[in-house]
Structure 1
Amino acid sequence: MELDWTYFFSLFSMGMFWRACVTVIELGSLSWIIGMVLGFVVASAELSTMAGLRALAKVYVWFFRSVPLLVLLVFVFNMPQIFPASGPVLSIPFVSGLVSLVLTETAYMAEIHRGGLLSVSRGQREAGHALGLGFLGVQTRIVVPQALRIALPTLVNEYVTVIKLTSLVSVISLQELLMTGQRLYSQNFLVMETLLAVAVYYVLIVSLFGSAFHWVERKLDLQRRQPPTLDDATCAQWLQALGPVPAANVSVHVPGQPLTLEMRGIHKSYGTHKVLGGVDLCVAAGDVLSVIGPSGSGKTSLIRTINALEKIDAGEIILFGESYIQAGDKPDSARVRKGIRRIGMVFQSFNLFPHLTVLGNILMAPHYHGSTDTQMDRAVALRLLDKVGLLAHAEKYPHQLSGGQQQRVAIARALALQPDIMLFDEPTSALDPELVGDVLKVIQSLAKEGMTMLIVTHEMDFALQISDRIVFMEGGRLQLDISPDQLRNQTEPDETLLRVRKFMGLDNTAITPQ
């Protein structure tokens, strides 16, 4: 039996089909949007530290992914038989269909979002925390934009799925495409022609919106963005307009004034493994301390407690004479966050925000903390980029930069809030040897300006050259706190001193223990 092509083509001029298309688009789009928003809430609950909330979210996802949509549609539509008060709303097929689709799609969207959220590295959250951003600030400005970009292709695919699932709503007599087609072929028995036309309508809807979403994907694809390096003339014009490069926020310790930083009896354990066993350390304004020691000695853990990236089990950290962190403090408390804003942090793995330009990375914290002078903020950011030798790369994205360039941007980002102390957690260990020098030069320039700094490093020659004091850690304890000159020249036979000199590769012939 041949298809009636005349009848088939006539179906595309029927108003009832186009009205049904509008119904499908409205129902599918609303279900997708609402499900996407609620799915993100459920995904966040699944990743919550609260066990009860996490369990509820997991049960929701398990249940609504298990129940067939067709069963759910019939149940929701007949809900007024159990709860008569819901009759005025749920007796409307469109509303019942929307509720059923949202309940189902929220569960699927939650898993899509959870995958996106898990793909954002912990270092991104830590970088936001180190800039003084609260939980919501980290989520809305750092995590969510990255997670959505990661999840977008899957979310688009889910939109296509939702559009096709709307055909099931015909079971509760919603006048959508399939129901419209069913009513026609029940009258004229031209089943194949009618269903073929219905299929074409679905293809048209999916193709139209799919193309729009793919256009959005391409626009949001950071790898496609390749801003050029600014030429020398443009950089010179900017510098002329900006004026001199600002000095770091430095100070000189005055006898009798509170120390910049004091750590008293700091203890830290991971389960039964103790990484810090009662560390006491004092840092005066303008001091440059290099923290050295073998791997696993507690160096990184020590520096991370200073800006609350790691909680302390016992002890106290004092900042400018005021209690800053005590055991049991929440890292998001107002007192701790106020202190964090005075401390800049540069990470081993850079932790730049990939969805922002170099300039955007530097402006993130000032804008978040309420600065209203955007022109001045931009000027300061550009000056900082010039200071680290990267003004020509202001409009680029992190993926366009080398490791050494990214680390210098990270230094500029930390300086944007004009911190009183800078922390460096092995800033050169992730770099190729030829890139180390540029980063060390920037740190050295900060030391000459008088910036207070704590540097965890394996660069022994650099530590000897730049430091006022060298702190040697081993076994979670501070074993030695000494100046470079004393380390080189002290002739007293001391086993700890010998150990440190050997660790640093210094000649021990001048010291012979008795």
Structure 2
Amino acid sequence: MMFDWAYFVSLFSLSAFWQASATVVELSVLSWLISLVLGFIVASARQARPAWLRGASQVYIWLFRSVPLLVLVVFIYNLPQLFPAAGGLLGNAFIAGLVATVLAETAYMAEIHRGGLLSVVKGQHEAGHALGIRFLGVQRLVIIPQALRIALPALVNEFITIVKQTSLISVISLPELLMTGQRLYAQNFLVMETLAAVAVYYVLIVSVFSVLFQQIERHVNVQARRPQTLAEPALAALREAARPLPLRPPAQRPGEPSALLMKNIHKAYGAHHVLKGIQLAVAPGEVISIIGPSGSGKTSLIRTVNGLETLDQGEIILFGESYIVAGSRRETAEMRSGIRRIGMVFQSFNLFPHRTILQNVMLATRYHLQPADEAARRAQALYLLDKVGLLAHAEKYPHQLSGGQQQRVAIARALALSPDIMLFDEPTSALDPELVGEVLKVIGDLAREGMTMLIVTHEMDFALAISDRVVLMEQGVIQADASPAAIRSGEAEPALQRIRQFMGVTESAVA
């Protein structure tokens, strides 16, 4: 038996096949897009806090990944026998096939999305929270864009799977490619030629969409982008457009409340009690360095200040008003308002990798509409980047910068909302020694400008030079709270002797 090439070629001018191809494309695209959205919802439910929601999503994924699509298609198409009211909708082969495909693919898409969500590091959530962005805002602006970029190759592969699975819908007489081919070879018995043409049509559809998705992947691949350092003429224009932020209030006046008051703060992780009745008052404009051995509770303490860690006991008061109380509901209006008055710089920078440096600095101000005018927000962001010496890198992405530069961007981002208090969680510990100085200089400039700051640090000389007070924490309690002058004095008080010993302040330095 010879292969009928003339017949094979003629099938590519047959309108029925092109109409069937359009049906395959329409069904595939709709199924993929709907499953993409529903799968993300199921994946989010899979990671939600309520146990019933997690359980329901797990059952859904388990069930629809277990049932073969062919069985599901036949079941959905025949569902009107049980529910006649559904006949007007599910009696349509295209609709029935779409519903069945979406039900099955949502389960697979959910697991793909879950992998993408789990790949977004926890620090991205925390950075969004520290900027006062609510949960849905963090998801929309920070988490979802990154998760989709991570999951895109697997999502593209799932689309190709959907295209091929549309052939199963022929079982309910949908006139897609396979059904069209079956009708032809049932008449002329040219099975091989007809199925070969069907295969070519599928290859053509997959090839066209593969090229399209390659372009999309190339477009969203931030790592491949290489914006250059701005030249001097462009810098001059940006400096001309830059505008300083509103002036910060002066230092504490007599009778005014503390900027921050922490009362009887307790925090435990399981059986490990990390904070044990901390009492700490911070005056406006005061700079406090918190030092201590690893595991002493330093980072846990400042993370309670902006709600990254909950309190087991105690209260935090911000400028004389109750801000966080142990056991109270999270995400209250008072708490959200307070978080916006507190900027935080993380040890690991936590810049948003999918956004440029300028976009990183502007993200929170755009979300909060602070100020309301976009041009003013951009002008202030440019001013902050110039302030930290990175205006020339405004259009670059975080992966193009050194660690020291990334940390300076993080400082500019934290300053964008004009906070009253700045928190620094070991801002130099992740940096190479030669990059430490550039970050410390920016922090020193903020101290001289009167910014209220709590700094967790291992830079002892820097702490003595910049701080109004140095707090030593050990085993979850404050062992010493003294000014640099008192530390350098010759007093024999045990607390001062301990802090001198920890900081390496020698007797000759004290003398």
Residues 142-174 of structure 1 deviation map (CA, whole Å, 9 limit, x = unaligned): 000110111111111111000000000001111
SS in structure 2 at match of 1:154: helix
CA contact (8 A) 2:263 2:314 kept: yes
Pairing 1:110-509 to 2, within 5 Å after superposition = 110-242=110-242, 245-246=244-245, 249-371=248-370, 372-492=372-492, 494-508=493-507
CA deviation after TM superposition for structure 1 residue 49, in Å: 0.8
C-alpha distance in 1 between matches for 2:40 and 2:429: 36
Which amino acid letter does the alignment assign opposite residue 197 of structure 2?
Answer: A
Which amino acid letter does the alignment assign opposite residue 62 of structure 2?
Answer: W
Residues 61-98 of structure 1 deviation map (CA, whole Å, 9 limit, x = unaligned): 00000000011111111111111111111111111100
Which amino acid letter does the alignment assign opposite residue 307 of structure 2?
Answer: A
CA deviation after TM superposition for structure 1 residue 40, in Å: 0.3
Residues 485-511 of structure 1 deviation map (CA, whole Å, 9 limit, x = unaligned): 10111422x333222111111114799
CA deviation after TM superposition for structure 1 residue 330, in Å: 3.5
Which amino acid letter does the alignment assign opposite residue 365 of structure 1?
Answer: A
CA contact (8 A) 1:250 1:451 kept: no
SS in structure 1 at match of 2:49: coil
CA contact (8 A) 1:287 1:468 kept: yes
Which amino acid letter does the alignment assign opposite residue 354 of structure 1?
Answer: P
CA contact (8 A) 1:261 1:318 kept: yes
C-alpha distance in 2 between matches for 1:259 and 1:350: 29
Residues 297-328 of structure 1 deviation map (CA, whole Å, 9 limit, x = unaligned): 00000000000000000000000000000012
SS in structure 1 at match of 2:147: helix
Deviates more, 1:225-234 or 1:450-459: 225-234
CA contact (8 A) 1:345 1:423 kept: yes
CA deviation after TM superposition for structure 1 residue 255, in Å: 1.4
CA contact (8 A) 1:343 1:419 kept: yes
C-alpha distance in 2 between matches for 1:464 and 1:303: 19
C-alpha distance in 2 between matches for 1:418 and 1:38: 39
Match of 1:93 in 2: 93
Which amino acid letter does the alignment assign opposite residue 388 of structure 1?
Answer: V
Which amino acid letter does the alignment assign opposite residue 358 of structure 2?
Answer: L
CA contact (8 A) 1:290 1:470 kept: yes
SS in structure 2 at match of 1:266: strand
CA contact (8 A) 1:64 1:107 kept: yes
C-alpha distance in 2 between matches for 1:240 and 1:311: 44
CA deviation after TM superposition for structure 1 residue 337, in Å: 0.6
CA contact (8 A) 1:266 1:279 kept: yes
Which amino acid letter does the alignment assign opposite residue 253 of structure 2?
Answer: V
Structure 1 length-normalised TM: 0.97
Residues 460-504 of structure 1 deviation map (CA, whole Å, 9 limit, x = unaligned): 000000000000000100111100010111422x33322211111
Match of 2:109 in 1: 109
CA deviation after TM superposition for structure 1 residue 247, in Å: 7.3
Match of 1:66 in 2: 66
CA contact (8 A) 1:250 1:449 kept: no
CA contact (8 A) 1:248 1:451 kept: no
C-alpha distance in 2 between matches for 1:123 and 1:260: 26
Deviates more, 1:445-454 or 1:495-504: 495-504
CA contact (8 A) 1:274 1:476 kept: yes
Residues 20-56 of structure 1 deviation map (CA, whole Å, 9 limit, x = unaligned): 0011011111110001100000000000011100000
CA contact (8 A) 1:491 1:511 kept: no
Match of 1:23 in 2: 23
SS in structure 2 at match of 1:202: helix
C-alpha distance in 2 between matches for 1:84 and 1:377: 58
CA deviation after TM superposition for structure 1 residue 407, in Å: 0.2
C-alpha distance in 2 between matches for 1:25 and 1:172: 18
Which amino acid letter does the alignment assign opposite residue 306 of structure 1?
Answer: V
CA contact (8 A) 2:245 2:418 kept: no
Structure-2 change in CA distance of 1:510 and 1:438 (3 Å): closer
C-alpha distance in 1 between matches for 2:481 and 2:495: 11
SS in structure 2 at match of 1:318: strand
Q: CA RMSD in A?
A: 1.3
What is the number of equivalent residue pairs in this alignment?
Answer: 510
CA contact (8 A) 2:77 2:91 kept: yes
C-alpha distance in 1 between matches for 2:445 and 2:498: 30
CA deviation after TM superposition for structure 1 residue 241, in Å: 4.0
Where does structure 2 lack aligned partners over 5 or more consecutive residues? none
C-alpha distance in 2 between matches for 1:178 and 1:148: 32
Structure-2 change in CA distance of 1:99 and 1:90 (3 Å): same
CA contact (8 A) 1:421 1:453 kept: yes
C-alpha distance in 2 between matches for 1:474 and 1:425: 17
SS in structure 2 at match of 1:396: coil
CA contact (8 A) 2:109 2:155 kept: yes
Structure-2 change in CA distance of 1:330 and 1:226 (3 Å): farther
C-alpha distance in 2 between matches for 1:65 and 1:333: 40
C-alpha distance in 2 between matches for 1:93 and 1:155: 25
